[in-house]
Amino acid sequence: MKFRFLPLALLVLLAFALLATMPANAVKTAEQSIDDTLTRGSRFTATITGMPNTSYYIWLPRTFTMSGEEYDQPPVIADNIENVRKDPAGGPYTIGSYQYNNGNGRTILDDVAPASATMSNTNYYALATTNRDGQIVVEFQTSAYTGLRSYSVRAENPESVDRDNLDVTVNVYSRKAPAMVIITEEPTRQPTVITRVVTVLVTATPPPATQETVLPPPHTTEPVPTTHAPAGLLPPAFAVLAAVLCFRTNR
C-alpha cells in the first residue's frame, strides 16, 4: 500500500521540474555606456544582438535633462536604416509611448530630450528589428549642436525571454567635427570685391589713341635780328649819290 502512490508522486515531481525549466516571459533590458571619446561631428553604432526577427526599443536614456536646443542636443539616430523605424515627427508616437522596465510608468518620450524648433525628439529613439541571425546595427550621428556629456544606449524588448542573452555593443568612429559657424544677419550685406592692383602712368591730358602728339619746343627768348639790305643794291646807290654831288659842284 505504501508504494501505491509512488508513481503519482513521481509524476507530480516531474511536472514541477518541467515547469521550473520552462522559460518565463520577462522584460529583457541591456544598456551600454559609451566609454570611448566621442567628438562633435563623429558617429557611433550600437549593435543589438538578441533573438532573430525580434523588435527592440532603442534610445538614449536619461537625456530628458537636456534642453534639445542647439549645443544641448543628444545624438540622433540616422535615417534610412533598414529595419529601423521611427515615429513621425508630428505623431502618432506609438514607439515613444512605450513604458520601459523599472521606469515607474515613464515612457521613452519621458526619458529623452524634448523636441525643439531645430530637432524633433523622435530622432532620439527607434524600434529596431533584428535579422535572422539576431543582429541589427543602429547608427547614431552627432553634430556641432550635440551636447558635451556622456551617453548610454539602451535596448529593451518586453516580450523577450530570459534566455534571450540580449547584448548591446557600441563602436565609436571618430571624425574631426566641423567648426561651429555663427551667422549674424546684417541689414545690408556688402558684396565681396576681389581687387587686382595694376600700376599705370597717369598723364594730365592723355592724347587720342589714333593721333600722334607732337610736343612744341621749349620757349626761349632770342634777340631781335638786325635787318640788312641786300648786298646787290649798294653800288647803284653810291653811283646816284656821286652824280648828285658832281652836279652841284659844276653849278
pLDDT digits (tens, 9 = 90+) for 147-163: 998 899 999 998 877 76
pLDDT digits (tens, 9 = 90+) for 7-36: 555 544 544 444 333 333 456 677 766 655
112-67-180 Cα angle (round to 5): 115
Q: For 167, left (φ over 0), alpha (ψ -120 to 50), or beta?
A: beta
Query: In this predicted structure, what is the pLDDT of residue 146?
Result: 93
Residue 29's DSSP bridge partners are 156
Query: In this predicted structure, what is the pLDDT of residue 19?
Result: 39
Residue 155 to residue 57: CA distance in whole angstroms = 5
For 199, the grid coordinates are: 600700376
Percent of the chain with pLDDT over 70: 55
Closest Cα partner for 113 from 168, 169, 71, 173?
71
Residue 77 to residue 35: CA distance in whole angstroms = 19
3-state secondary structure 73-139: ECCEECCCCCCEECCCCCCCCCCCCCECCCCCCCEHHHHCCCCCCCCCHHHHEEEEECCCCCEEEEE
Range ranked top by mean pLDDT from 4-8, 14-18, 56-60, 244-248: 56-60
Residue 238 backbone phi and psi in degrees, to 5:
-65, -35
Query: In this predicted structure, what is the pLDDT of residue 234?
Result: 54
Of residues 195 and 106, the one with the higher pLDDT is: 106
pLDDT digits (tens, 9 = 90+) for 184-229: 344 433 333 333 233 333 324 444 444 444 455 555 555 555 555 4
For 22, the grid coordinates are: 520552462
Average pLDDT over the chain, rounded to whole?
73
For 205, other C-beta atoms within 10 Å of its C-beta total: 5
Residue 163 backbone phi and psi in degrees, to 5:
-85, 10
Closest Cα partner for 77 from 30, 142, 159?
142
Closest Cα partner for 138 from 100, 99, 169, 174?
169
pLDDT (mean) for 29-47: 78
Q: List the domain boundaries for the chain.
A: 23-173
